Amino acid sequence: MDQQAILLLGYLIGSITFIVGLKMLSHPDSARRGNLVAAVGMIIAIFVTIFLYRDHNGNALGNYGWIFGGLIVGTLAGTLIAKRVQMTAMPEMVSLFNGMGGACAMLISIVEHHHNPDAAIGMKVVIVLGMIIGTVSFTGSMIAWGKLAGKIKDRAIPAGQIINFLLFGGLIVSAVMVIGGYNDTPALFYTILALAATYGILFVMPIGGADMPVVISLLNSFTGVAAAFGGFLYDNPVMLTGGILVGSAGTILTILMCNAMNRSLKNVLIGSFGGGAKGGTAAGDKEQGAYKEISLNDTAVLMAYAQKVMIIPGYGLAVAQAQHACHELEKVLAEKDVEVLYGIHPVAGRMPGHMNVLLAEADVPYEKLLEMEDANDQMSTTNVVMVIGANDVVNPAALDDPGSPIYGMPILEVEKAEHVIVNKRSMKPGYAGIENELFFRPKTSMLFGDAKKVLQDLVSELKQM
């Protein structure tokens, strides 16, 4: 078997492992193995490219010192960051890594334009579009990273929609001029780069906190598309396959999340939901009345004598690193013949699947995690619902307040249960910045405190009963 055949076989194996790995990621029980399968495929694709790839003139890659130096530095940096990151910081790490993928696609286009300034029109389309999409993904992901890490605040840009429209129009006109050969000077090419970078920043900057999971998913799909363009440039099947898989999966996930919020993608991108949208029921806009508190002992009694308890996890659970304490509570209640389930809202947390990942880390059985529709079906037969930091996804304003920015968003309808206990550190609004009417409803009792300590104390109380 000659080198070209071995190279193509390596690419085929890489492509197949990407597809198999992605399929395995759809279930927590196989997700870890799926990640490893895809990683093995990527390693195979990298090494067959390094040692077997030949250009049209039959030349090998060369520059092995730079190549392996980059591989070593990247591997060490990625491993250290991934091992040290807390679950609370996982969304911003995803944004950071996604931004690096966009930056890579951007640099590929810049290098290829430099080496092939007189490329055919088809190649120019791929180079220019790859650069635009990769740059938007890079700068947008960096802003998303800053917002998720609390380093960048939501800011409404004056006349932001008009500015973005002008930037987008400028990108189209400039791209047509370069691709059509009307003006292929380096200055115009780098003007496109600057416009794309600015557009990526202004595109993400005003988007409110509650919409960040959708934005992360959308930016992820951008990176996949940009990587696919790189596959076209280098005639690399595995790079093309990987990019298409990421791009299509990210697009589908974005659409599903928008449907789960009962909002269009356009509304997400220009609505600034959670970013101080006007006309909504913002925190403190109306008098809600009094809330009532519940003691730890009373909470333990309610749960111990319940038949079914449902836990609604949110970002507060991740902040407190309370997933293991939550699983311990589940096990103690199970010993008392109490059925414990988890209601998972599709946009709970800061990124798609955040709560699923968090609970899987604590070895919570997958069959106990109910999707929103299934959880709502069981809510009327639930004795006690415990909401842990999941502020916005249980807000009844989404159902009955047309003036609220979240009106129309499907929620976990916890009020159908007999008792609702909400664990929060304070009465501050959630990530969307909207007051939660649930806290003042007759069935609701507030249990204040850090989630981890509260759950640990609750476990102690239950063990003594």
Catalytic site residue from 392, 400, 401, 450: 392
* DSSP structure class, residue 220: H
Burial of 237 (0-12, 13-18, 19+ CB in 10 A): middle
**DSSP state for residue 366 in the 8-state scheme:** G
Q: Is the dihedral of CA 448, 453, 458, 461 positive or negative?
A: negative
Residue 435: strand, helix, or coil: coil
Say how many Å lie between the first and final Cα of the chain, rounded.
Answer: 71
Structure tokens at 200: 């990526």
CA 454 – CA 465 distance, rounded (Å) = 17
**DSSP line for 243-305:** HHHHHHHHHHHHHHHHHHTT--HHHHHHH-TTS--TTS-BTTSS------B--HHHHHHHHHT
Are the CB atoms for 434 and 395 separated by under 8 Å? Answer: yes
Token code pair at residue 150: 């609390």
The region, left, alpha or beta by phi > 0 then psi within -120 to 50, assigned to residue 236 is: beta
Please give the single-letter amino acid code of residue 8. Answer: L
> Around Cβ 93, how many Cβ atoms within 10 Å?
18
- Give dist(CA 322, CA 250) in Å, integer: 29
Distances, alpha carbon 174 to alpha carbons 37, 111, 189, in Å: 42, 19, 8
Residues 6+ apart with CB under 8 A from 47: 10
Q: Based on the residue annotation, tell me whether 400 is a catalytic residue of this protein.
A: no
Q: How far is CA 48 from CA 11, 101, 112, in A?
A: 8, 21, 22
Q: How far is CA 463 from CA 4, 134, 329, in A?
A: 66, 54, 10
Distances (CA, A) of 459 to 193, 303, 315, 361, 368: 56, 11, 21, 19, 19
DSSP H or E stretch at residue 371: strand 369-371
Q: Which residues are known to be catalytic?
A: 392
